[in-house]
Homo-oligomer: A and B are copies of this chain.
Amino acid sequence: MTDLLLRNVRPMGGPATDILVLDGRIAAPGPAPAGIPVEDGQGMLLLPGFVEGHTHLDKTTFHEADWLVNTVGPRIIDKIDHEREWRARTGHDAGAASLAMARAFLAAGTTRIRSHVDVDTEAGTRHVERVLETRAAMQGVQEIQIVAFPQSGVLGRQGTEAALDAALAMGADIVGGLDPCAIERDPVRHLDIVFGLAEKHAKPVDIHLHEQGSMGAFSLELILERTRALGMQGKVVVSHAFCLGDIPERERDALLVQMAALGVAIATTAPPSRPVPLVAPCLAAGLTIFGGNDGIRDTWTPYGSPDMLERAMLVGLRNNFRRDDEIALAFDCVSAAGAAGCGFTAYGLDAGARADLVLVEARSLAEAVVARPTRKLVVTGGRVVARDGELLV
């Protein structure tokens, strides 16, 4: 029942207008009911609440008193093993971590999040349980999707499959997976388990695929075969998909066409240091590609910030987007495309959408992306939840 009249704002940098919110949703323009709360937008730029499409809320040390000195080795397996050891040693609290991070995201205008959450034989479903608590705490102001994510692999650790099964039963929304060849060493068996769990629980899939080159393309083909065979069109996301950045363009484009036909989307963090799927060829093929931070200040990486405008900037830089119309595509990766790829509904600035709104001082959408100004106002479901970058809830 949250109503709001937001006066004098410029949606996506367009002409100034008023936005009427009735019962938490954007209403068609019309007379505002008497006594409705009013916010003066002062001609600021209005954006839809941002979408974080790929992060790990449970891993962060963002909220901790001590700086975590990173001394980890260069390989993915080094980082996986080090993190599990560190977690056991420090008693890392995935509940406090995820809540602090979710709140920081909200203060910076992100109202929908897809978080991969570790499930393994040591943590069991503990991280999922704690992030479910965070989700409950944020209910009404932020929507959080939980991927049951086998960060340490499934095949090498007896009991992981059962833990994933339990995590999905207790409320995880999506089945995760991980490098079927490079980490799991048995792509068919790994993917059969992942897609088997998806079928059993009638839940979508989101697979981390760091594998590069022809190995990654091979794993991707196996994923597409299973998507087709199980009728899971529109229910599969491939995260990272680095192989699409370094196989020959002709092979890449053939895969993109297949992915588009199957409604398989790509989540990218657009890392500057390695080949990545580029936005333009994905869009040309009709594919949904969207953005995420990946982990933020955790044992994997000290970088990152719960600011999706900064991620949009990094997507823009990685794709060499310089024109304003190109930078709008980078913003799309952390807004509408993220909502489409993750399946967040009632998204956007049109009438009927949930009134998740962000106001910033910027002359254009491109300026909002490159300058990343303070969030002057964040509204979720019509309720003001943050001002000047500070949470009110």
| A interface residues (Cβ-Cβ under 8 A, vs B) | 66-67, 69-72, 270-274, 297, 300-305, 313-314, 316-320, 322-325, 327, 363-364, 366-367, 370-371
Contacts and interface: CB of A to CB of B under 8 A. Distances in A.
A272 B270 contact: yes
Contacts of A366: 67, 69-70, 302
19 contacts: A66-B363, A67-B363, A67-B366, A69-B364, A70-B366, A71-B324, A72-B322, A270-B272, A271-B317, A272-B314, A273-B318, A273-B320, A300-B322, A302-B322, A302-B370, A303-B316, A303-B317, A303-B370, A314-B317
Interface of A is mostly: loop
Contacts of A71: 323-325
Given A272-B270, A272-B272, A364 B320 contact: no
A325 to B, nearest CB: 8
Given A71-B324, A322-B70, A363-B67, A273 B317 contact: yes
The 8 closest A-B pairs by CB, nearest first: A272-B272, A273-B320, A67-B363, A272-B318, A272-B317, A67-B364, A302-B370, A70-B323
A72 to B, nearest CB: 7
Contacts of A371: 305
Contacts of A274: 320
Contacts of A370: 297, 302-304
A276 to B, nearest CB: 9
A37 to B, nearest CB: 31
